[in-house]
Structure formats: structure tokens, C-alpha cells
Amino acid sequence: MKEISIVNTFSVYNSISELPTDIQDLMSQAAEVRKNAYAPYSKFRVGVALFLDNGKVVVGSNQENAAYPSGLCAERVAIFYAGAAYPEAKILKMAITAASDSNKTMAPIPPCGACRQSIAEYEIRQEAPIEIYFMGEIGDIYKSDSLKNLLPFMFDKKFL
């Protein structure tokens, strides 16, 4: 037997004001669209803003459904829309923010496993990393230079 070690590196910003100004704007758009989340069951609202290489910003919020799990997470709403509306564009940056109707979310909230897999598909397809910034409602913001930090053993088409 042998062991392997995987080291993941994240940048940590203590507040939105520490972020580069373009990311401050992206995170503000994510926070604004978070208000549009349809979350009557979980009471957990997520907003996402994507910056594309064509200069466009695409946003998304989570959309729940009584026939769980028929809803979609904010990350997938945004990336699927970007893929449909701008199929040739690359996703350069993603800002994610989450808030609960029940309490303040102070810890950075990363994408769920299904969203990580969906983001991986786009990152692999475009052959370029996606910078991912994520936070709760308030508090620290984490930055990953690529989805590979969040999902080091990515499953993709080469395994099919």
C-alpha cells in the first residue's frame, strides 16, 4: 500500500471590501439575485453570479420544488443558462453567497456535490479554470483558483 497526499490551497478574504473590485461587484450581484431564490422548504437561499469571457454576467438563484429533488441549485441554474445563452463563452469567475431565513450564515458555503460535478463539466469542456469565490451571508470569503481544489478526483468523459 502507498499513500498519496493532496494539498488544496484557498485564498481567504475577511470581508467583501478586501476583494478585488470586479469580484466585489460580482458578489453584490450574487447577493442581490439570492433574494429571488424560491426556497419555501429549506428556507436556504443561494445566489450566484458568473463572469464570462465575453464580458457578460449571468446570475442564478436556487429554485425548489415540492416534488423534491426536482429543484435546482443556484450554481446549476446559472451555468446551465450560460451554456444555453452563450455556448461559446468561457466561465472565468463564479461568486456564490448563501443565506438562511433561520439564522446568519457566517461560514463560507461551497457548492454541493452535484453542482461541483456540473461545474467540473464546464471547466473541463472549456479547458480553462474557473475562479470560485464563496461565502455565507457575512464573514470570510474563500477563493479557489479552480474547481479541482473542491473536487480533486473529477469524473469526466475520459472515463466513459
For residue 130, give Cα distances in angstroms to 70, 80, 114, 117, 139: 26, 15, 16, 13, 22
Q: 121: annotated binding-site residue?
A: no
Q: 120: annotated binding-site residue?
A: no
Helical segments of the chain, H only: 21-34, 74-85, 113-126
- Beta-bridge partners for 61: 47
Catalytic machinery residues: 75
Q: 66: annotated binding-site residue?
A: yes
Q: 64: annotated binding-site residue?
A: yes
Q: How many helices (H) and strands (E) does the chain have?
A: 3, 6
Q: How far apart are CA 94 and CA 10, in angstroms?
A: 15
Q: Which residues touch 160 (CB under 8 Å, ≥6 apart)?
A: none
Q: 62: annotated binding-site residue?
A: yes
Q: At what angle do helices 113-126 and 74-85 cross, to 10 degrees?
A: 30
Q: 112: annotated binding-site residue?
A: yes
Residue 151 in contact with residue 117, Cβ under 8 Å? yes
Query: Could you tell me which residues are annotated as the binding site for Zn(2+)?
Result: 73, 112, 115
Query: Could you tell me which residues are annotated as the binding site?
Result: 62-68, 73, 112, 115
